[in-house]
Structure 1
């Protein structure tokens, strides 16, 4: 089984996955707290972010989720890293190509030395 790809195994596992997803969906709906599926209370709640509220600086994404509240821990933890990257971001294609050439030369050097 681990040396070749067999379509029957794939179809079998895919069907089992669909059945498990269906059963999980039914269980979640039955054990839920009665969330309204239509009307005013049917808005999606994603970490407290309201898609109808306009976020300053994100006016072009009105009605969309920005992910600001979902990824706050990552952005807070990597704030210094993102600040350093923002300083290096010039928007010039030649800078990015030079970074690519430097990284490629470094990787090739490492491969040639330690092979």
Structure 2
């Protein structure tokens, strides 16, 4: 099986992917509260940001999303890690070289021990 390319396997995998993505889309539409389908028509709702609301200092982007809330979950989840990184960020090249050498030493040590 691994020595040749069979178009039939590709078509099977593609069709299975289409079915899974369609089922996922239908499930997301059913459980989501992010799209208004009645009233003034369809309205997008991305992470609490209303497209009709004017964002302070972004009045020229009315109706557009700034991305401020789109990545909210990632930023909130990694906030503590970035606080540690901010403390360690000195701006000195020697510190960064030391971090690089430490990382290389750890990876090489893992390779030598793990084989």
Q: How high is the TM-score relative to the length of structure 2?
A: 0.53
Question: How much has 1:105 moved relative to structure 2?
Answer: 1.6
Q: 1:45 to 1:94 in 2, by over 3 A?
A: farther
Question: How much has 1:14 moved relative to structure 2?
Answer: 0.8
Runs (4+) of structure 1 moved beyond 3 Å?
A: 3-7, 19-30, 67-70, 77-80, 90-98
Question: How much has 1:101 moved relative to structure 2?
Answer: 2.6
The equivalent position to 1:35 in structure 2, one of 14, 34, 37, is: 37
Number of residue pairs matched by the alignment? 105
Matches within 5 A, 1:20-99: 21-22=21-22, 35-36=37-38, 40-51=40-51, 52-54=53-55, 59=58, 62=61, 63-64=64-65, 65-67=67-69, 70-71=72-73, 75=76, 78-90=78-90, 95-99=95-99
Distance, in Å, in 1 between the alignment partners of 2:44 and 2:36 is 14
Structure 2: state its 5+ residue gaps. Answer: none
Structure 1: state its 5+ residue gaps. Answer: none
Q: How high is the TM-score relative to the length of structure 1?
A: 0.53
